[in-house]
Amino acid sequence: MRKKIAEVPLLFNLNFILVCIFSSVAIAQTYPGLPTRSQNPLLQSYFIPAIPITSAEKWSFSQSLYITNTYQLEHKQQEELEIDVENSRLDFQATYNFKPWYFNINAPYISNQSGHLDQTISNWHNFFHLPNGGRDTVESDQLRLFYGHEGNTFFDIQQPAEGLADIQLALGYQVDQSTQAWFALEIPSSNASQLISNDAIDAAIWISNAAIPIASTSGYFTLGLAFPANEGIFKGNLRSQFGFAQFGLNYAINHDYEVIFQTDFHTQMLKTSDLEALTTSLQGQFVLRLNNLFKKHTVDLFFSEDIYPGHAPDITFGLRIAPSSNTN
C-alpha cells in the first residue's frame, strides 16, 4: 500500500504532461465534468475544489445535492477512528463570464446528522449477501465522529451540526478553446462547527481540459494542487499541499441521454496516518445525464463508489442541475 501511495506523485505529474499535450488539439466546449469531490465527512471542512461551471452565457448557475451515509471503524497501532454519520451537502454555484476570464463562487450548505438510511443500507447488504462492515453490531440512527492518535483525541463529536460551509471564490482564464486555468481561495464561513469550516483561508490552482470527441465519446481532465491551512479538526497534522485530479469519459446515447464515468482523486492530506479513511482517495462517479428535461439545462443523476476501499462513504447519491450551453 505504501509503495502505491509513493508512486502517486509520479503518476500525477505524467498525467499533467499528457493533458498539456492534448489540450492543443481539443475542440471548444463547456467542461462537462461534475463538481464532485471526496465526500468523506471528516474532510468536508477542507478545501477540495468543486470544479466551476462555465457557459457562453454572461451568468451561469448550478445546484448540486449530495447525500452520503457512512459507518466505519478502524484501529491500527496508536491510531483509532469511528465514523457513524449521514451527511448532506448542497452546493450553489454561480459563474460570471467576462471573456476570456471567469469569476466563480461556490457556497455549500453542509449537514451532519444521525443515519436515517442506516436500516435501508443494512437491508440492501443483507438481501444481496454483502458485508455490512460492522453496521449490524451498532444501533441504527446514531451519530459519532471520533479520531485519536498517539493517545491524543483530536475530536469526539456526537451532536448534529449544519450550516453554511467555507465559500469558494475562483478566477479562471480561457487559455485556448478547450483549456481553462484556475486559481481559487476558500474563505471561512461564520459557522463554528469544525466539521463544516476549518476557520482558515485555503488556496488551490488547477487546469481543466475537454478533449477531442471520437464518435459519440469524449473525455475530460482536471489536475491541480491545493494548499490547505494547517487548522481545523486535524490542526497540526495537515500537509502543506496535496494533489487532486478528475478524469471522465462521456458517451452520448442520443440527443437526450448521456452516460458518464468519472473518477475523482486526491493524494493523502494528513502528514501521518495509516488508516484507510485518511489516505489517498480514488472514487468513481456513475452518471446519467438528461439533456432536455429542462430548457437549456441538464440534469445529472449519479452515485459514487470507493475505488480505494475505506476512504469514501459507503454510498453517495447525487443530483445536479446545470446549464447546457457551449462556450463557443
Q: Can you list the domains of the chain with their CATH numbers?
A: 2-323 (2.40.160.40)
Mean pLDDT of 142-150: 86
Tally of residues, the chain: 328
pTM over 0.85: no
CA distances from 43 to 4, 195, 231, 282 (A): 22, 8, 12, 14
Mean pLDDT of 13-19: 44
User: Using one digit for the tens of pLDDT, what is the confidence trace for 28-74?
Assistant: 457 888 999 888 889 989 999 989 988 888 999 999 999 988 888 88
Mean pLDDT of 121-145: 58
CB-based contact 299:293 (threshold 8 Å): yes
Q: At residue 300, does pLDDT exceed 50?
A: yes
Burial of 105 (0-12, 13-18, 19+ CB in 10 A): middle
Distance CA 103, CA 62 (A): 14
